[in-house]
Amino acid sequence: MDEEKKLSRKTVLKVALAAGVAAPVALIGGPALARTTVASGRTPELTPACDDGDDPTPAQTEGPYFKPNSPQRTSLVTPNTQGTRLTVSGYVFGLGCLPIARALLDFWQADVNGAYDNVGYTFRGHQFTNDQGAFTLSTIVPGLYPGRTRHIHVKVQAPGRPVLTTQLYFPNEPRNNTDTIFDPRLLMTVRDVPPGRQAAFDFVLNVPQTSTTRPTSTTPTTSNPPTTSTSNPPGGTTWAAGTGYSAGARVTYSGRGYVCLQGHTAQPGWEPPSTPALWRAE
């Protein structure tokens, strides 16, 4: 397996940001740092890679419970808050895979019982990304309410740009298979860190960024098959929308092999390269 190819530009940028390195491109082929290890290990990559041509984070319905004027805060919990503690962290990127500083993130979610506070501002809060484009939210795992799978609502806005309204989801939730709003492209990477859980998600906003400031030498130039492929190599059938896949199923897409991580019915837009929570590249 070509591990270096799996180092997306965004991953490199994140590693560079974490390390305080000014020239992210210099890290290609360098030592494996924490987030690189995650991306190249056996666990799904944190989020879709922000390579050339990748789509921005999909929008979702706002739902009936948004309230404007939430408090500015990065923590929605107090020592007495009920529920499993959850930290959500990540970055906000533009189309050029560059981080966006001072981007607004406004989160709202249900409490442990699946109820929204429509009178006050419990489990509502907004914050801004830091100079590195990073954010961290301290909250709880939201409770379930009828008709929906587990989710967190968020509005994300780069300075002076339109608002992206969307929702974030949790892997391995039974209701993910029946919630018609659910989109696996919005699955967070979640891991248990007792006594709580840690989640990661990176947003890609539909914000143009100048190519002069963006590294260009990280784009893989070899072994990239055409985007449409009629070949059907041994070991898996060609991925097709409308097909039900079970965990462990193998497919090929654009000439590359993928293993299904969660059972689901494929839909247009859920292609394996776009849904690392559903498919792991072989």
Give the alpha-carbon dihedral of 201, 207, 212, 216, to 10 degrees: 40
Interatomic CA distance for residues 205 and 252, integer angstroms: 29
* Segment 185 to 204, residues that bind Fe ion, using CB under 5 A: none
In a 13 Å sphere around the CA of 148, the CA atoms on its Cβ side amount to 20
| Residue (63 or 171) nearer to Fe ion, CB | 63
| Residue (65 or 128) nearer to Fe ion, CB | 65
Dig out the tokens for 63 from the structure: 């739902």
Q: Which residue is nearest to Fe ion (CB)?
A: 63
In a 13 Å sphere around the CA of 78, the CA atoms on its Cβ side amount to 4
8 CB contacts (<8 Å, ≥6 apart)?
A: 39, 45, 49, 50, 51, 218
Closest CB 148 distance from Fe ion, rounded Å: 6
Closest CB 185 distance from Fe ion, rounded Å: 18
Closest CB 236 distance from Fe ion, rounded Å: 36
| Residue (22 or 119) nearer to Fe ion, CB | 119
In a 13 Å sphere around the CA of 254, the CA atoms on its Cβ side amount to 10
* Segment 138 to 167, residues that bind Fe ion, using CB under 5 A: none
Count of residues interacting with Fe ion (CB under 5 A):
1
- C-alpha torsion sign, points 9, 273, 41, 264: positive
| Residue (76 or 158) nearer to Fe ion, CB | 76
Closest CB 110 distance from Fe ion, rounded Å: 6
C-alpha closest to that of 263 among 169, 144, 178: 178
| Residue (30 or 63) nearer to Fe ion, CB | 63
- Window 44-73: contact mask with Fe ion (x via CB under 5 A): -------------------x----------
Q: Is 263 an interacting residue with respect to Fe ion (CB under 5 A)? A: no
Closest CB 109 distance from Fe ion, rounded Å: 7
Closest CB 46 distance from Fe ion, rounded Å: 23
Contact call for residues 63 and 51 (beta carbons, < 8 A): no
Cα–chain-centroid distance for residue 237? Answer: 27
- 27 DSSP 8-state letter: G
| Residue (167 or 252) nearer to Fe ion, CB | 167
Q: Which residues bind Fe ion (CB under 5 A)?
A: 63
